[in-house]
């Protein structure tokens, strides 16, 4: 009891001594999880011998009744030229290369489900095989994204030679560490061919070991003609800076809402929400609409609503407005399928505000 009184007293005194509203200047700003990884920008080499562990999977139909030649097939670095002859490949279609994250493999559900969705949308689908290099300690895998990106770009260079793939029909998408990897693929592709890959989509690109890097060593809007970023856990596994052209800060970008609104989705849960949201956006390409913010700080504070004229952008495989770049607050529901459509454009549709107002809407509480 005495202890409790002491604690209360100390708290009261602390309160007295501040005597003013808290502010960001007083509180400080989050540093972000593992911002700096000393040495992770130093060279890393994949030897000629190990290049056979790097590959691209052409996604096919893996159902048991499908003839063998139409099933998925992995091409290692040295077999890249043969991809063009794959019977699942059709150069008239659009092509997506999807890059998974840390510890990922093209056989795991993240890449498989995403790939199958794109296939249903009529794309040729390539998945990255780099498991050998993405299952080391995280800061080491983070260092390996540079040579992985370079060699994948070399493989793509062969695939996009004149007469083969039309570069304008080519896209890259990646989640987490794959969201940074797409940058190194795009940078190297540009260096080798002089051309930029038109569309890049990054799903909560990794912040750890990248968030404080210069543009040469992280995802950047100079990497593609249109770089779209989904931000769902900016101080944890994601990164806070608006490094793309069009940047969607989902529910402010810090944490995602879970079932009970006063318990947020954890770091991992918030990070992975970027994937689910993109998956839903592929099926409902006009349903995630964000409102423009003046700053990331404003997005963090859920304070981007009510501006006139209303400026919006759509998180979509097809309808992102490249002529309206910037920072967008994307309000979502706490349950699948998450999208709110136009309801998400108003403050009272915003998840936390809505619930906070509701729970204390009684003028006087009696119990
Ligand atoms: C790309 O094509 C060139 C020329 O045809 C060839 O020398 C090179 O080995 C190929 N690279 C890959 C990764 O297939
Ligand atoms: C795209 O954004 C520009 C700039 O805000 C705007 O003028 C234009 O109407 C938008 N296009 C669509 C299709 O909404």
- pLDDT band at residue 159, thresholds of 50, 70 and 90? confident
Task: Give the Å distance between the CA of 81 and the centre of ligand 1.
Answer: 7
Q: Atom 12 of ligand 2 has which residue's CA nearest to it? A: 321
Query: What is the pLDDT at residue 195?
Result: 94
Does the residue 241 lie in any domain? Answer: yes
Task: Give the Å distance between the CA of 180 and the centre of ligand 2.
Answer: 28
Mutation pick for ligand 1 pocket among 54, 80, 161, 189 (CB with most ligand atoms within 8 Å): 80
Q: Which atom of ligand 1 is nearest to the CA of 80?
A: 14
Query: What is the pLDDT at residue 165?
Result: 81
By DSSP bridging, strand 55-58 and strand 95-99 are: unpaired
Does the residue 15 lie in any domain? Answer: no
Q: Atom 2 of ligand 2 has which residue's CA nearest to it? A: 324
Q: Which one of the ligands is nearest to 309 CA?
A: 2
Does the residue 21 lie in any domain? Answer: no
pLDDT above 60 for 17: no
Q: Are 256 and 265 in contact (CB under 8 A)?
A: yes
Ligand 1 pocket member 333 (CB < 6 A): no
- 140-156 per-position pLDDT tens digit: 999 999 999 999 999 99
- In whole angstroms, what is the distance from residue 95 CA to residue 89 CA? 9
Does the residue 84 lie in any domain? Answer: yes
Does the residue 60 lie in any domain? Answer: yes
Share of the chain above pLDDT 70, in %: 95
- 88-141 per-position pLDDT tens digit: 999 899 999 999 999 989 989 899 999 999 999 999 999 999 999 999 999 999
Q: Atom 3 of ligand 1 has which residue's CA nearest to it? A: 158
Does the residue 151 lie in any domain? Answer: yes
Q: Atom 13 of ligand 2 has which residue's CA nearest to it? A: 321
Query: What is the pLDDT at residue 361?
Result: 87
What is the SS3 assignment for 125-156? EEEEECCCCCCCCHHHHHHHHHHHHHHHHHHH
Helix 177-193 crosses helix 138-159 at what angle (to 10 degrees)?
A: 40
Burial of 154 (C-beta count, 10 Å sphere; 0-12/13-18/19+): middle
Q: Which atom of ligand 2 is nearest to the CA of 311?
A: 5
Query: What is the pLDDT at residue 18?
Result: 53
Cut 0.85: pTM above it? yes
**What is the domain count for the chain?**
1
Ligand 1 pocket member 154 (CB < 6 A): yes
Task: Give the Å distance between the CA of 23 and the centre of ligand 1.
Answer: 57
Please give the structure tokens belonging to residue 146: 């540079």
- pLDDT band at residue 311, thresholds of 50, 70 and 90? very high
Ligand 1 pocket member 75 (CB < 6 A): no
Mean pLDDT score of the chain: 92
- 323-341 per-position pLDDT tens digit: 999 999 999 999 999 999 9
Burial of 14 (C-beta count, 10 Å sphere; 0-12/13-18/19+): exposed
* CATH code at position 265: 3.40.50.1820
Structural domain boundaries enclosing 199 = 29-359
Ligand 1 pocket member 81 (CB < 6 A): yes
Which bin fits 138, alpha (ψ -120 to 50), beta or left (φ > 0)?
A: alpha
Does the residue 136 lie in any domain? Answer: yes
Q: Which residues contact ligand 2 via a Cβ below 6 A?
A: 311, 321, 323-324
Query: What is the pLDDT at residue 357?
Result: 82
Q: Nearest to residue 213, comparing CAs of 267, 145, 152, 151?
A: 145
pLDDT above 80 for 290: yes
Q: Among 164-168, 331-335, 342-346, which is the least confidently predicted range? A: 164-168
Query: What is the pLDDT at residue 264?
Result: 78
Does the residue 6 lie in any domain? Answer: no
Ligand 1 pocket member 158 (CB < 6 A): yes
- pLDDT band at residue 16, thresholds of 50, 70 and 90? very low
Q: Atom 13 of ligand 1 has which residue's CA nearest to it? A: 155
Prior bond of 309 cis (ω within 30°): yes
Q: Among 238-247, 318-327, 354-363, which is the least confidently predicted range? A: 354-363
Query: What is the pLDDT at residue 86?
Result: 93
């Amino acid at each position: 009891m005495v202890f409790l009184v002491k604690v209360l007293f100390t708290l009261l005194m602390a309160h007295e001594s501040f005597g003013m509203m808290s502010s960001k200047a007083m509180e400080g700003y989050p540093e972000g999880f593992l911002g700096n990884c000393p040495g992770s920008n130093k060279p890393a080499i994949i030897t000629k011998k190990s290049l056979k562990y790097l590959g691209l999977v052409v996604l096919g139909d893996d159902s048991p009744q499908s003839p063998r030649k139409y099933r998925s097939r992995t091409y290692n670095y040295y077999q890249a030229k043969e991809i063009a002859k794959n019977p699942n490949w059709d150069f008239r279609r659009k092509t997506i290369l999807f890059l998974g994250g840390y510890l990922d493999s093209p056989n795991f559900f993240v890449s498989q489900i995403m790939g199958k969705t794109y296939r249903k949308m009529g794309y040729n689908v390539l998945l990255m095989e780099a498991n050998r290099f993405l299952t080391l300690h995280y800061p080491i895998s983070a260092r390996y994204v540079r040579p992985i990106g370079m060699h994948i770009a070399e493989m793509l260079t062969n695939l996009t030679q004149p007469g083969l793939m039309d570069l304008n029909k080519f896209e890259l998408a990646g989640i987490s560490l794959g969201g940074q990897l797409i940058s190194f693929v795009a940078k190297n592709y540009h260096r080798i061919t002089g051309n930029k890959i038109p569309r890049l989509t990054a799903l909560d690109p990794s912040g750890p070991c990248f968030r404080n890097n210069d543009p040469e060593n992280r995802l950047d809007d100079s990497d593609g003609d249109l770089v779209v970023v989904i931000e769902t856990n900016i101080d944890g596994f994601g990164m806070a800076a608006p490094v793309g052209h069009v940047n969607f800060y989902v529910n402010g970008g810090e944490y995602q809402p879970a079932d009970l609104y006063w318990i947020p989705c954890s770091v991992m849960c918030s990070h992975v929400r970027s994937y689910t949201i993109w998956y839903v956006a592929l099926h409902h390409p006009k349903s995630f609409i964000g409102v423009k913010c003046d700053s990331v700080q404003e997005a963090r504070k859920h304070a981007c609503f009510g501006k006139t004229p209303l400026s919006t952008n759509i998180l979509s495989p097809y309808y992102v407005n490249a002529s309206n770049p910037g920072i967008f607050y994307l309000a979502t529901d706490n349950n699948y399928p998450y999208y709110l459509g136009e309801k998400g454009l108003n403050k009272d549709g915003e998840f936390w505000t809505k619930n906070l107002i509701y729970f204390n809407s009684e003028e006087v509480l009696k119990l």
